[in-house]
A = this chain, B = another copy of it.
Amino acid sequence: MRKIRMGMVGGGEGAFIGAIHRMAAALDGQIELVCGAFSADPQRSLRSGRALFLDPQRCYPDYQTLFTAEAQLPLGQRMDFVAIVTPNHLHLPVACMALESGFDVMSDKPATLSLEECRYLAATVEKTGRLYGLTHTYTGYPLVKEARALVAVGRLGAVQKVVVEYSQGWLAAPASVENKQAAWRLDPARAGLSCCMGDIGVHAANLVEYVCTDRLQTICAHLTASLPDRLLDDEGTVLFNTAKGTNGVLIASQVCVGEENELRLRVYGDKASLEWRQQEPNSLWLKFADAPAQRVRAGVGELSALAQANLRTPSGHPEGYIEAFANHYRNFAGQIRANLSHRNASDSERDVPDITDALSGMAFIEAVVQASKSPQKWHRLAASKNTQSHIEQGVVS
């Protein structure tokens, strides 16, 4: 038994999401960071790696060198998987080279710049037989897993309506030159087809699909850019119908002044409904027609096996965003361990967003951008080829 060894591409000094990935990977003591190509600038990559107490030999000047060099290390030393935390436009080439070089991949989202790229990525995953995970963080929360279980066992009855909203305010003001986060997200060359829908709308869509074990199928979309010089959307609303016939509304915005990271999901069935807010993630509301609403709490009473498996503390000791993120990492590490031990991964280990979610997300982004330009209301999402994902399998125990 040993720790799973992780490399990282991107996430050098000053980057936000790289540090989150590292904390998430470290939290449970299952994964150790052993190498990285943290920046396109070799000196900065080295400096970043040293600050992380890495062996300078394994602070690589670029990702190509990283994969080549690590692949030549003896099995007992070389990394098991790479975490990709670059801007969007590099996700595809880095992931493909990793997979081709024999490494599993955990990628930040969105998976690629376009659905076409994503199909290429999916083919590469299939061809190489490597593991691919995608950090749709919010499905890592224990009570989101509980929500999925409650829907799956019919606690809500037939699901009829979904309202999901993801509102932020940080792009409301004109982006300053120094704000790197804003700059690349609003640049079509680096962000892809969409800013708001690609950055956060796709999280909201993924959350719906995960909780309802369902897929968005037809949409009506209206995206806008609130400042005149913006080339990509910074907010939008999407009406949708799912494969199972549920009716829904998705609202996403990065220009709602005063909102922090307001991801909120409501699912209405014909027997009961549920509500969850990311900013208070340890509570989940169950509401009924003729009985008091119940506040399901992390750690209180009987929760589903998947929710339970993703909790670390007793009730009343709040877990947060990093813990949700860490759940994906720990579960993904479990998949790697299962492969190393030639056993099947458990339900809990497989409960990580995968290449099918990647395809679904890219199909969503592409569809809403196109639908928004159309004077017609309704449009159909491109069908995803691969349907063998954990979503369709309805893994709930």
* Chain A residues within 8 Å of B, Cβ to Cβ: 1-3, 16, 19-20, 22-23, 26-29, 33, 50-53, 160-161, 163, 165, 168-170, 172-173, 220, 222, 224, 226, 235, 237, 239, 247, 249, 251, 253, 255-262, 266, 268-273, 278-282, 286-297, 299-302, 312-323, 374-378
Contacts and interface: CB of A to CB of B under 8 A. Distances in A.
Contacts of A251: 163, 249
17 contacts: A1-B50, A1-B51, A23-B312, A172-B270, A253-B268, A257-B268, A257-B287, A258-B293, A292-B294, A292-B295, A293-B297, A312-B322, A313-B320, A313-B322, A317-B320, A322-B322, A377-B377
Nearest to A226: B160
A223 to B, nearest CB: 10
Given A160-B255, A247-B224, A301-B291, A313 B321 contact: yes
B161 A235 contact: yes
Contacts of A51: 1
Given A26-B29, A293-B297, A319 B322 contact: yes
Given A53-B29, A257-B269, A292 B288 contact: no
Given A249-B237, A300-B291, A29 B20 contact: no
A260 B319 contact: no
Contacts of A19: 312
Nearest to A315: B260
A201 to B, nearest CB: 14
A222 B239 contact: yes
Most B CB contacts (10 A, CB to CB) among A26, A247, A286, A293 go to A293
B322 A261 contact: no
A306 to B, nearest CB: 18
A53 B161 CA distance: 47
Contacts of A294: 292-295
A341 to B, nearest CB: 15
B281 A292 contact: no
Q: What are the nearest 3 A-B pairs in CB distance?
A: A258-B287, A261-B316, A260-B316
Given A257-B271, A258-B293, A376-B377, 17 more contacts: A23-B28, A23-B29, A27-B27, A160-B226, A160-B255, A169-B287, A235-B247, A257-B270, A257-B288, A259-B316, A279-B282, A288-B301, A290-B302, A291-B301, A317-B321, A318-B321, A375-B377
Contacts of A172: 270, 289
Contacts of A378: 375
